[in-house]
């Protein structure tokens, strides 16, 4: 149950005063109890010494009779214990029952007395079952005489005093309760007025004032609350003016701006954004699909609403190239800013074509062809040398052709000239088809080829030519670095349900297909492995870059262009997947990539 402030204050004071009264009562009881115990112990010690003197002076009396006599005279329990711990007399135990008493040699006070000291102990008697104060002293006969008094006799005088203290404490507590009740109401009354004023301000009524005129801290708080209300009124007016100004600035921007609510609906789209997406009316309140149905746009929206900032990312829409940057908002929702870079991308395309035709990679084969052809012009060149240089021309021409082909493929993919056209494919058939172009070279070097596909991973939903090119480039790369007698193979793992690659959890390939149709089978993770020489760990992060080679001399010598893995990366990412590499020197390399599994509605 929730208590009001005055109730909490009342209970706090009541508890505090009650605790003080209880502490004083307990302290007084403790002091008096100690004082009475000390007095009783002093009397008991005096009686003990007198009893010992009488015992030492009456050797003719039996110990049991003497214990009974001393007990009747002083009203104490008197016990006489032999040196071996046997009880020889007890004022509260019959003589015929003394043999049934346990040996007292290990009692603390008895041990101390047998050592010549005055023994003392507080404990519950095992003989009579009540708590006693024990004092024991040695006798001249070598035995021990012990006097005991029940604790009840010590505490008896305290009972009346405790009742008096309890009565005084109850009266004091009642008076404290009345004082606490009045004080709590006096303190919380202005607080209740301030709370009511604060609730009215929270509801939007900033004209409310507390008007509590006091000279204490509560008065200062009331004055501060009134000042706060006035300042809020002024600040809200400023914010409204700034909001209007900001809205005018956003509407006049050449960049497109779209603001999304936390639930994903469009909160605001400025005129530039509506022009970029060819919107005839304001999409406010509608879903992002009302702006654009492009899969990459919807994936981007999904990611930024999930709290992931989006760095500058390029989208295409109706022939436009749009550079979008998106950021999640602290209170939920997101803002997307679009820049039309269509003209810039067209210029970059021209530059890429120039770089593709004038790159350093073209120089090496061209130089070799030129040098060989100039040598062939020598009419005195022997036939065997002429044949050697002719083969060099042919080899470098073929290499030049491969570089040009790869550059054209890469340029087409990067420029957006290639689009994924997924079909239902057999993964094993696609891998074997790509391997057929490498099988002759593999057989010469006795390199084995293996395919391991678990049940459910036999079919994928991918672009046929792209998948064959992915496998072909990976097989060709593995073949260059796998020694004779090695192995190259393909493995796969089915991702259950709609599980996606970790790095692409917010993305979904072909959203217009796999998101809008039931039965999507998720993803298949494919591994192309070999038992080759491996790749140093320092090179792994860069092997998918254009023209990057781990061993440039060996790669060129074996016909590599340096573009194969870059093309593979673009093709995999074009399917919405990801690609990674693992390698161990002397063991081999594994290239792992993901493609969409075949949806249930296609199988």
Q: 3-state class of 258 per DSSP?
A: strand
Instruction: Write a three-state SS string for 500-554.
Output: CCHHHCCCCCHHHHHHCCCCCCCEEEEEEEECCCCCCCCCHHHCCCCCCCCCHHH
pLDDT, position 561: 64
Q: 3-state class of 260 per DSSP?
A: strand
Pick from 89, 99, 94, 103: nearest CA to 58:
89
Alpha helices in 333-382 (DSSP H): 342-358, 360-376
Q: Return the H-helix or E-strand segment holding 53.
A: helix 5-57
Q: How confident is the model at residue 487 (pLDDT cuts 50, 70, 90)?
A: very high
Pick from 130, 133, 105: nearest CA to 38:
133
CA 401-402-407 angle, to 5 degrees, is: 100
pLDDT, position 419: 84
Q: How many distinct helices (H) and strands (E) make up the chain?
A: 16, 17
Any idea what DSSP says for residue 515? I
Strand order in the sheet with 579-584: 448-452, 487-494, 523-530, 588-596, 579-584
pLDDT, position 510: 36
Alpha-carbon 464 to chain mean position: 42
Pick from 47, 114, 130, 119: nearest CA to 81:
114
The burial class, CB within 10 Å (0-12 / 13-18 / 19+), for 484 is exposed
Q: Return the H-helix or E-strand segment holding 530.
A: strand 523-530
CA–CA distance, 101 with 90 (Å, rounded to integer) = 10
- pLDDT of 24 > 50? The answer is yes
pLDDT, position 426: 92
Strands 448-452 and 487-494, by their bridges, are parallel
Q: How confident is the model at residue 9 (pLDDT cuts 50, 70, 90)?
A: low
Torsional class of 577: left (φ above 0), alpha (ψ -120 to 50), beta (otherwise): beta
Tokens in use for 467?
A: 């998948």
42 or 406: which carries more pLDDT confidence? Answer: 42
Q: How confident is the model at residue 590 (pLDDT cuts 50, 70, 90)?
A: very high
The burial class, CB within 10 Å (0-12 / 13-18 / 19+), for 376 is middle
Expressed in percent and rounded to 5, the helix, strand and coil fractions of the chain are: 50, 20, 30
Tokens in use for 43?
A: 């009397």
pLDDT, position 390: 83
How does pLDDT run across 215-259, given as a tens digit for each residue? 666 677 777 777 877 788 788 888 888 888 888 888 888 888 999
Average pLDDT value for residue range 96-118:
85
Please, what is the average pLDDT of the chain? 80
How does pLDDT run across 325-358, given as a tens digit for each residue? 999 998 889 999 999 888 888 777 746 644 654 4
- pLDDT of 421 > 80? The answer is yes
How does pLDDT run across 145-195, given as a tens digit for each residue? 899 888 776 766 666 776 777 778 788 778 877 777 777 776 667 777 777
Residues above pLDDT 90, as percent of the chain? 19
pLDDT, position 603: 60
pLDDT, position 471: 93
How does pLDDT run across 436-470, given as a tens digit for each residue? 988 888 999 999 999 999 988 888 999 998 999 99
Which residues are CB-neighbours of 62 under 8 A, at least 6 positions away? 89
Pick from 556, 524, 543, 525: nearest CA to 583:
543
pLDDT, position 213: 67
Q: How far apart are the first and last CA of the chain?
A: 61
How does pLDDT run across 530-576, given as a tens digit for each residue? 999 899 988 888 888 776 767 655 555 555 567 788 889 999 998 88
CA–CA distance, 231 with 226 (Å, rounded to integer) = 9
190 C-beta neighbours (distance < 10 Å), count: 18
- pLDDT of 435 > 50? The answer is yes
Q: How confident is the model at residue 409 (pLDDT cuts 50, 70, 90)?
A: confident
CA–CA distance, 79 with 137 (Å, rounded to integer) = 11
- pLDDT of 403 > 80? The answer is no
pLDDT, position 71: 82
Phi then psi for residue 170, to 5 deg, are -65, -45
pLDDT, position 588: 93
- pLDDT of 518 > 50? The answer is no
**Inter-residue contact 581 to 543 (CB < 8 Å):** yes
295 C-beta neighbours (distance < 10 Å), count: 20
Q: 3-state class of 43 per DSSP?
A: helix
CA–CA distance, 358 with 347 (Å, rounded to integer) = 17
> Own/partner pairs for 68-77, CB < 8 Å, 24+ apart?
74/47, 74/147, 76/44, 76/47, 76/147, 76/148, 76/149, 77/128, 77/132, 77/147, 77/148, 77/149, 77/150
CA–CA distance, 599 with 597 (Å, rounded to integer) = 6
CA atoms within 13 A on the CB side of 277: 26
């Amino acid at each position: 149950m929730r208590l009001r402030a005055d109730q909490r204050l009342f209970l706090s004071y009541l508890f505090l005063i009650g605790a003080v009264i209880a502490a004083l009562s307990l302290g007084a009881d403790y002091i008096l109890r100690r004082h009475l115990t000390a007095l009783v112990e002093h009397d008991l010690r005096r009686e003990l010494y007198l009893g010992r003197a009488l015992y030492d002076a009456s050797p003719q009396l039996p110990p049991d009779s003497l214990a009974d006599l001393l007990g009747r005279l002083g009203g104490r329990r008197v016990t006489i214990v032999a040196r071996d711990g046997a009880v020889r007399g007890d004022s509260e135990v019959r003589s015929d029952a003394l043999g049934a008493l346990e040996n007292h040699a290990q009692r603390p006070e008895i041990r101390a007395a047998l050592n010549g000291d005055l023994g003392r102990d507080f404990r519950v008697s095992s003989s009579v079952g009540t708590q006693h104060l024990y004092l024991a002293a040695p006798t001249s006969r070598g035995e021990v005489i012990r006097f005991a008094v029940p604790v009840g006799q010590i505490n008896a005088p305290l009972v009346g005093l405790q009742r008096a203290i309890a009565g005084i404490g109850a009266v004091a507590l009642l008076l404290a309760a009345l004082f606490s009740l009045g004080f709590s109401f006096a303190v919380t009354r202005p607080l209740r007025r301030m709370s009511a004023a604060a609730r009215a301000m929270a509801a939007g009524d900033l004209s409310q004032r507390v008007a509590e005129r006091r000279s204490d801290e509560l008065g200062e708080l009331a004055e501060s609350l009134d000042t706060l209300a006035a300042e809020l009124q002024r600040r809200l007016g400023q914010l409204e003016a700034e909001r209007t100004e900001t809205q005018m600035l956003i509407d006049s921007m050449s960049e497109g701006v779209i603001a999304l609510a936390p639930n994903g609906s469009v909160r605001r789209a400025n005129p530039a954004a509506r022009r970029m997406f060819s919107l005839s009316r304001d999409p406010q309140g509608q879903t992002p699909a009302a702006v654009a149905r492009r899969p990459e746009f919807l994936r981007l929206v999904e990611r930024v609403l999930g709290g992931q900032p989006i760095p500058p990312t390029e989208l295409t829409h109706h022939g436009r190239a749009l550079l979008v940057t998106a950021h999640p908002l602290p209170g939920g929702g997101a803002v997307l800013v679009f820049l039309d870079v269509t003209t810039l991308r067209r210029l970059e395309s021209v530059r890429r074509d120039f770089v593709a035709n004038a790159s350093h990679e073209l120089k090496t084969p061209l130089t070799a062809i030129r040098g060989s052809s100039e040598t062939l012009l020598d009419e005195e060149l022997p036939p065997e040398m002429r044949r050697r240089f002719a083969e060099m021309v042919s080899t470098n021409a073929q290499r030049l052709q491969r570089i040009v082909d790869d550059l054209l493929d890469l340029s087409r993919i990067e420029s957006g000239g290639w689009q994924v056209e997924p079909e239902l494919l057999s993964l094993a058939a696609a891998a074997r088809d790509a391997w057929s172009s490498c099988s002759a070279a593999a057989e010469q070097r006795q390199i084995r080829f293996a395919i391991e596909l678990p049940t459910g991973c036999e079919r994928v939903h991918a672009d046929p030519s792209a998948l064959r090119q992915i496998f072909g480039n990976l097989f060709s790369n593995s073949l260059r670095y796998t020694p004779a007698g090695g192995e190259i193979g393909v493995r796969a793992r089915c991702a259950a349900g709609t599980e996606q690659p970790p790095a692409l959890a917010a993305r979904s390939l072909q959203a217009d297909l796999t998101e809008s149709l039931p039965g999507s089978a998720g993803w298949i993770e494919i591994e192309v492995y070999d038992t080759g020489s491996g790749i140093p760990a320092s090179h792994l992060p860069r092997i998918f870059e254009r023209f990057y080679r781990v061993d440039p001399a060996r790669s060129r010598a074996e016909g590599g262009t340096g573009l194969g893995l870059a093309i593979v990366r673009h093709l995999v990412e074009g399917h919405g997947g990801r690609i990674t590499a693992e390698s161990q020197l002397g063991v081999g390399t594994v290239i792992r990539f993901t493609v969409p599994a075949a949806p249930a509605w296609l199988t």
